[in-house]
Chain A
Amino acid sequence: MAKYTLNINQKQVTVDADPQTPLLWVIRDEVGLTGTKYGCGIAQCGACTVHLNGNPVRSCSLPVSASSGQQITTIEGISENESHPVQKAWIEAQVPQCGYCQSGQVMSAVALLDKNPKPSDDDIDAAMSGNICRCGTYTRIRKAIHNASNEISNGSN
């Protein structure tokens, strides 16, 4: 066991954990932010996606020891009151069904639009195919990303 100071959603938290513990379980069970989900544990489904210094990473496969000192953003940290354009677009298109994968979907979409505000369908395929949705909301996710993209570019004009 060792102590780690993590910067999560711009707050410092200190946790006591085995260095190899995946960041996912630390975020969920030690810090208490349960929006980030466990889906596979081997970086195949994307349900655990968080941002590390703005880049989407699979927190199920990232040891807590490698996360210390980095800027970690979870689904709880991207906005207050679901006001991020991606969240608004998700609600507008009524994307989620069971919703379990959607924290990860939203985090991947936010990271995509941060880097590429006008993604093509192929860009969306490339950025989002690491996130499995078993309810099959893919067509709505695609639509919501395009809508969010439009809102972001209109907002910046």
Chain B
Amino acid sequence: MEATNSIDRRKFLKITGISGAMLAIGFESLAMDMGDDPMVKAMMAEDFIDGTAINPFVIIGEDGQITIMATIPELGQGINQGIPAIIAEELEVDLNTVNIVKSSATRKYGRQSIGGSRNTRSLYGPMRKLGASTREMFIQAAAKRWGVSADQCYAKDGQVFKKGSNSGLAYSALVKEAAAIEVPKEPALKSKKDFKIIGKSFPRPDLALKVSGQADYGMDAQTEGLLYATIERCPTLQGTITSFDEGAAMAVPGVQKVMKVTRNVYGNNNVGLAVVASSYYAALQGRKALNIKWNNAEFTGISSSRIDKELTKLENEDGYEHVEKGDFKATLDQAAQKIEVRYDLPYLSHTCMEPMNATVHVKEDGTCEVWAPSQSPQVQRQFAKILGIPENQAEEKIKVHLPYLGGGFGRRSMNDSLFECLQISQAMTKPVKLIWSREDDTSQGPFRQRTAHLMKATFDANKQPIGLQHKMISQAITTQGRPSRGRLPFEVMEGINTHYDIPNISTRFVEYKNQIPIHWWRSVFGSTNGFAHEGFMDEVAVMAGEDPLKFRKDRLKSEPRFVKVLERLEKEADWNKKLSKNEGKGMAIVESFGSIMAHAVFLKKEKGKVSIPKVVSVVDCGVYINPDQVAAQTESNIIYGLTAALKDPITFENGAAQQANFDTYRMLRMNEAPRSIEVHIMENDEAPGGMGEPGLPPIAPALANAVYDLSGKRIRRLPFDLQRV
């Protein structure tokens, strides 16, 4: 457990050569002073490491221990090890002996925000360079000591050797000299064939903590004198408070304060009432006694049925152009046959296992300590503005712990709970932990978008497709709280494959606006577009009288990576094997976030009950770091996507979400999960693709296509009940 009182125990890092190292790898924002300031009596993760920091990420102890900082929020994706693994590879150290330490959140590590399956993709190059330049500094230091040229030396297992000699010098013996060397700007990177770490499965160091209750999540923050807060918010999100019973809440033993807080959601400052108490249970009891009357009449008109009608009204709008190939409209007149259908997907909640929470301590001396379970934890500058701290003192006066995240899925890229908690702690000058209840977490949004997809296909007399239209109708994330931009929002067409060899293709976006806030949800628009597009492609294949996998292979020849994935899936899933009458199979392929993912779903009907015995997956994610984590993320996306396809939607009545906890917003459980998930990874030298999300978009369409194969029933609206097909 972290102590907060013993400043004597601090072990200050001797930080050297940082600006140079950071500039060399292209973190331009980092040429700044990073001296630790003893005025903040917060023990941060870094304070427990002894050694010399050759750069902010690599610390060498006198005892030879090599520490690599894990600076990117760990929410399950294994990044805690993944990025240090990249550094360790180029640094020529044994990953099993490296001490990986979860860092705090601070600017010296560059950007620490996480989302868009982006981190391995964006840090692969810079972190290799960082590891390689550090390695070269050690080699140069050793060469200098031996009086030989650097090209007579090489590094291995954390030591530098002279060619032809067996006795090496440990990095720890070279630290001071290495730190004085100018950081090489263009270090030589290893070639892939020499990789000892990248591409291999290493056990994750955080898992021992996670099977024994020792991993520190935001929910677990503990500090002396901690108070607990809960907030009653308006069921319609927006609304003002007409009256409440402060006295009744304050009468609950342990309750210390009732106060208004605001929650900014895409420009709306939503009001809530916080109850602060000496225990969370007391705070909840106080909250129950509040008896708030809301003035929210103008926000109660919206309901799921009204949204359905509003989306339907937009069906004939032209919207924004995404891809126009040939002339789709002209094919409507020429076509011998047509299909015109609509696909629909609901609002959803992110539902991290760890509900939203935050812990903030605004201290009497004007400093602030924060525990930020966030995908975007570097809150110093924004907090400083609110606390009246000059921007240039934000880093030294505001210390931010970076706990493990109990799930994120995009939800934790919104820091609403942190800002709510800041207001409470600021008012009380005491440490406060704000806990959202599960009900708050499910019903207060922001949500995954609800979409409608108008799908049309035209066929010639030989039943060959000549035209394809995908018109998507939805809110956009990036135009909330502001007028439409008059152009296609960048995020909305993810996962729509326009590579299909169909001569006339039209993909368009019609923007819908309403008061319900939506936010990045695992694979975002890939999660909705992928279902409509690949479900409909199955319909097109059936109309053409072709096997769905062969149909895709034949019409994606312009994209060899797609074809290779499909061929691999055909083989690994034994796709062409004939199934019995009570079995079904379906497949789908979607490219998103830089990776191509195909799933084959198998269904079985036994004694009237439908189950999913097996999912076979093939992914092309380019160069990958840890194949076991590629598999783990794929398994995760399959379950997350199956929950979205088969369980509950978020629906609205009188402006309020109708689902609150796991009894009404159900999750896929062990007994419903596929018994087997097989993941196969393509080997190639392509740039790394994302892995946190690409597994999700193709799972719902593969499932729906399997349902069609099993039962002849076409699923075009999610969620659906697998037992009623």
Contacts and interface: CB of A to CB of B under 8 A. Distances in A.
Contact of A94 (B75, B207, B282, B355): B207
Contacts of B33: none
B355 A38 contact: yes
B252 to A, nearest CB: 9
Contacts of B78: 97
B76 A25 contact: no
A87 B635 contact: no
Nearest to B77: A97
A147 to B, nearest CB: 13
B501 interface: no
Contacts of A82: 208, 211-212
Q: How large is the interface on B (under 10, 10 to 19, 20 to 34, 35 or more residues)?
A: 35 or more
B280 A25 contact: yes
B211 A87 contact: yes
**Interface of chain B: mostly helix, strand, loop or mixed:** loop
A40 B663 CA distance: 10
Contacts of B216: 34
A98 B407 contact: yes
A21 B636 contact: no
A140 B676 CA distance: 9
Given A25-B280, A44-B662, A138-B670, A36 B438 contact: no
Contacts of A75: 212-213
Interface in A99-157: 99-103, 106, 121, 124-126, 128-142
A128 B213 contact: no
Contact of A98 (B76, B661, B670, B671): B76
Nearest to A21: B281
Contacts, number: 185
A91 B211 contact: yes
A21 B279 contact: yes
A94 B628 contact: yes
Interface in B661-681: 661-663, 667-671, 673-677
B211 A40 contact: no
Contacts of A133: 353, 639
A40 B438 contact: yes
A74 B213 contact: yes
Contacts of A98: 75-76, 352-354, 404-408
A8 interface: no
Contacts of A40: 438, 661-662
A80 to B, nearest CB: 9
Nearest to A131: B670
B301 interface: no
A1 B438 CA distance: 26
A141 B670 contact: yes
Contacts of B636: 97, 135-137
A74 B1 CA distance: 17
B217 interface: yes
Contacts of A57: none
B211 A136 contact: no
Nearest to B206: A99
Interface in A44-89: 44-45, 47, 74-76, 79, 82, 86-87
A95 B676 CA distance: 15
B210 interface: yes
Contacts of B371: none
Contacts of A137: 632, 635-636
A133 B222 CA distance: 25
Nearest to B638: A136
Nearest to A138: B673
A21 B226 CA distance: 18
Interface string A12-38: 000001101110010011101111111
Interface residues of A, number: 63
A86 to B, nearest CB: 8
A96 to B, nearest CB: 4
B426 interface: no
B89 to A, nearest CB: 20
A139 B663 contact: no
Contact of A139 (B76, B353, B637, B677): B677
B203 interface: yes
Interface string B197-234: 00000011011111111111101101000101000000
Contacts of B677: 139
B207 A95 contact: yes
Interface string B469-481: 0000000000000
A22 B663 CA distance: 19
Contacts of B213: 33-36, 74-76, 103
Given A29-B228, A137-B636, A139-B673, A99 B404 contact: yes
A90 interface: yes
B671 A99 contact: no
Given A22-B281, A137-B635, A39 B353 contact: yes
Contact of A138 (B282, B405, B639): B639
A94 B632 contact: yes
Contacts of A128: 670
B208 A37 contact: no
B674 A139 contact: yes
B435 interface: yes
Nearest to B637: A136
Contacts of B282: 18
Given A90-B207, A139-B676, A134 B662 contact: no
Interface string B383-403: 000000000000000000000
A42 B673 CA distance: 23
A116 to B, nearest CB: 15
A46 to B, nearest CB: 10
A21 B281 CA distance: 6
A96 B207 contact: yes
Contacts of A100: 217, 352-354, 406-407
B253 interface: yes
B128 to A, nearest CB: 25
B658 interface: no
Nearest to B433: A29
B126 to A, nearest CB: 25
A136 B640 contact: yes
Contacts of A1: 253
B662 to A, nearest CB: 4
A37 B219 contact: yes
10 contacts: A22-B281, A34-B220, A40-B661, A41-B437, A41-B661, A99-B207, A99-B215, A125-B671, A133-B353, A135-B407
Given A20-B281, A139-B677, 8 more contacts: A18-B282, A37-B353, A99-B215, A128-B670, A134-B353, A134-B667, A136-B673, A138-B639
Interface of B: 1, 75-78, 203-204, 206-217, 219-220, 222, 226, 228, 253, 279-282, 285, 351-355, 404-409, 435, 437-438, 628, 632, 635-640, 661-663, 667-671, 673-677
Which 9 residue pairs of A and B lie closest in terms of their CB atoms, listed nearest first?
A: A35-B213, A136-B639, A100-B406, A99-B210, A97-B76, A98-B76, A75-B213, A44-B662, A125-B671
